[in-house]
């Protein structure tokens, strides 16, 4: 009975997000829609660039929905252009658009094909269709999250994680954006589900194939999914080397299996780099100087970067211009600290923990570490800011760690009550940011 409640909660929250957040207020929506519209209509010039009237139509809509006022909210002034520019490159603060349609990730091709089957609609109507597609991915992610968490933590853990995901303050926002995030998050959840199945079952070949299919699909959909290839490699090695095999058989199986997996990872990475290098920024990531920029060498920047990634993982609105209250961020930080300490306690000091659950918690920690490392390599090293949604491909294992770490401190007879209290706290935190931050920010633009 509780799972339908989780679906109803998430559906209500996503509908509220769709109704409240104006068009173009999710990061990079204008660029995503422009590329998808270009692919859909094939309106190209000889040099392959977007037809200027298309970008101008989007800019007109951005003025209509106060894009500049929200984009520069922290400066307390509006900088909307008095005359609508002809393209993104000429618009202040908008940034240039990526017009290389040939290097688009597969997500853009798929949704463009879907839109081409529909009757002609306005730009804003297409935007809301793309947001609705992301919402469908979000609902599917909830289902898969329940399957994976139940496989890992049992019925109580699966139900708790499903409710936490349904009430996660940022998940409904990310799941209603016209972007590839929803698909990548779903594929990351599928990867975790198949990992739990592979660890808990005798036969691992089919679930391991599911792990790799999800990882490769996520990497081809968006660059946020590329680190999942590394996670898939770690899962493969762990399953081969840590199963109940003799040491001789472990070595005999592990060496060739590791070599095969390494070739697959390298091939997938090179294919991704060759196919989507420009769109993903992968060439810059791999071929720029590997040294830190000067500001990234300071403790102050490291602290601000880390705290912002953590806070925006919990909640950030629009172009990360609307932050939660300081007390709210403090509660989120305290929950994270309690869960992290509990996870360490469970991994290294809980002798009663069964081997399968211990392996899954360790793999969840490794997956999170890989995704965090990718964020720091991609953004921190270059002195750029990063949003917490970049960690959402491993959101489900993160919530597994959150509940698993917190329940460590609770005696077993009281864990049901602890789960209910945690879910209630999530509900209160979610209601607080919607009521205190989101609605005041966007109600005037409706």
**Residue 430 parent element (H or E):** helix 415-433
Which position has the token pair 């300071």? 298
Q: Please state the φ and ψ torsions of residue 242, each to the nearest 5 degrees.
A: -110, 5
CB 380 within 8 A of CB 302: yes
pLDDT in tens, 284-294: 545 455 566 66
Count of structural domains within the chain: 1
- What pLDDT shows up at residue 363? 92
Instruction: Tell me, rounded to whole angstroms, the distance of Cα 26 from its chain centroid.
Output: 14
- CB neighbour class for 425 (10 Å; exposed up to 12, middle 13-18, buried from 19): middle
Q: Which residues pair with 317 in a beta bridge?
A: 322
- What pLDDT shows up at residue 102? 44
183 CB-side CA count, 13 A: 22
Task: List CB contacts of 143: < 8 A, sequence separation 6 or more.
Answer: 7
- What pLDDT shows up at residue 56? 82
243 CB-side CA count, 13 A: 19
For residues 390 and 320, what is the distance between their CA atoms, to the nearest angstrom?
A: 13
- What pLDDT shows up at residue 142? 97
Q: How many CB atoms lie within 10 A of CB 115?
A: 21
- What pLDDT shows up at residue 105? 67
- What pLDDT shows up at residue 255? 52
The DSSP result for 117-174, as a single string, is TSPP--HHHHHHHHHHHHHHHHHHHHHHHHHHHHHHHHHHHHHHHHHHHHH-TTHHHH
Domain residues for 164?
Answer: 2-445
Count the residues in the chain: 446
From first to last of its 446 residues, what are the pLDDT tens digits of the chain?
788 999 999 999 999 999 999 998 888 888 888 888 877 766 344 444 455 567 888 888 888 888 777 777 665 555 666 677 777 777 776 766 555 444 456 788 788 888 888 888 888 899 999 999 999 999 999 999 999 999 998 899 999 999 999 999 999 999 999 988 999 999 999 999 999 998 888 778 888 889 999 998 898 888 788 889 889 988 888 887 765 444 445 445 555 555 555 555 555 555 555 545 444 455 554 545 556 666 767 788 888 888 989 999 999 887 777 889 999 999 999 999 999 999 999 888 877 778 888 889 989 999 999 998 888 887 877 777 778 898 999 999 999 999 999 999 999 889 999 999 999 999 999 999 999 999 988 887 66
Encoded tokens for 227: 């680190």
CB 150 within 8 A of CB 157: yes
CA distances from 418 to 145, 148, 201, 341, 396 (A): 20, 21, 29, 17, 19
Alpha-helix residue ranges (DSSP H) falling in 168-246: 171-174, 181-200, 205-221, 227-241
């Amino acid at each position: 009975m509780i799972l339908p409640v989780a679906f109803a909660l998430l559906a209500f929250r996503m509908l509220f997000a769709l109704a409240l957040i104006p068009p173009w207020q999710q990061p990079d929506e204008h660029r995503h829609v422009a590329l998808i519209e270009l692919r859909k209509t094939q309106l190209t010039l000889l040099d392959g660039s977007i037809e200027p009237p298309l970008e101008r139509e989007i800019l007109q809509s951005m003025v209509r929905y106060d894009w500049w006022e929200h984009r520069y909210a922290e400066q307390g002034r509006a900088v909307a252009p008095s005359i609508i520019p002809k393209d993104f490159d000429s618009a202040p603060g908008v940034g240039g658009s990526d017009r290389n349609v040939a290097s688009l990730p597969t997500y853009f091709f798929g949704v463009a094909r879907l839109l081409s089957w529909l009757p002609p609609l306005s730009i804003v109507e297409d935007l809301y269709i793309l947001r609705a597609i992301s919402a469908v991915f979000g609902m599917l992610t909830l289902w898969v999250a329940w399957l994976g968490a139940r496989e890992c933590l049992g019925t109580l853990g699966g139900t708790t994680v499903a409710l936490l995901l349904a009430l996660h303050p940022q998940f409904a926002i990310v799941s209603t954006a016209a972007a590839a995030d929803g698909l990548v998050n779903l594929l990351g959840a599928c990867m975790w589900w198949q990992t739990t199945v592979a660890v808990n079952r005798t036969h691992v070949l089919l679930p391991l194939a599911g792990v790799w299919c999800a990882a490769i699909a996520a990497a081809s959909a968006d660059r946020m999914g590329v680190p999942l290839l590394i996670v898939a490699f770690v899962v493969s090695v762990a399953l081969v080397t840590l199963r109940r095999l003799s040491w001789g058989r472990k070595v005999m199986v592990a060496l060739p299996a590791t070599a095969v997996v390494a070739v697959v990872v390298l091939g997938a990475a090179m294919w991704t780099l060759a196919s989507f290098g420009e769109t993903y920024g992968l060439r810059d990531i791999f071929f720029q100087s590997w040294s830190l920029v000067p500001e990234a060498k300071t403790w102050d920047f490291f602290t601000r970067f880390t705290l912002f990634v953590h806070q925006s993982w919990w909640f950030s609105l629009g172009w990360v211009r609307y932050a939660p209250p300081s007390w709210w961020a403090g509660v989120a930080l305290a929950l994270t600290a309690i869960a992290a300490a509990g996870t360490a306690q469970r991994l290294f000091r809980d002798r009663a923990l069964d081997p399968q659950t211990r392996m899954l918690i360790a793999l969840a920690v490794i997956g999170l570490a890989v995704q965090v490392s990718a964020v720091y390599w991609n953004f921190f090293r270059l002195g750029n800011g990063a949003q917490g949604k970049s960690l959402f491909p491993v959101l489900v294992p993160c919530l597994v760690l959150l509940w698993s770490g917190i329940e460590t401190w609770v005696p077993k007879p009281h864990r049901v009550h602890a789960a209910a209290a945690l879910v209630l706290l999530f509900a209160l935190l979610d209601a607080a940011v919607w009521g205190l931050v989101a609605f005041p920010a966007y109600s005037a633009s409706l």
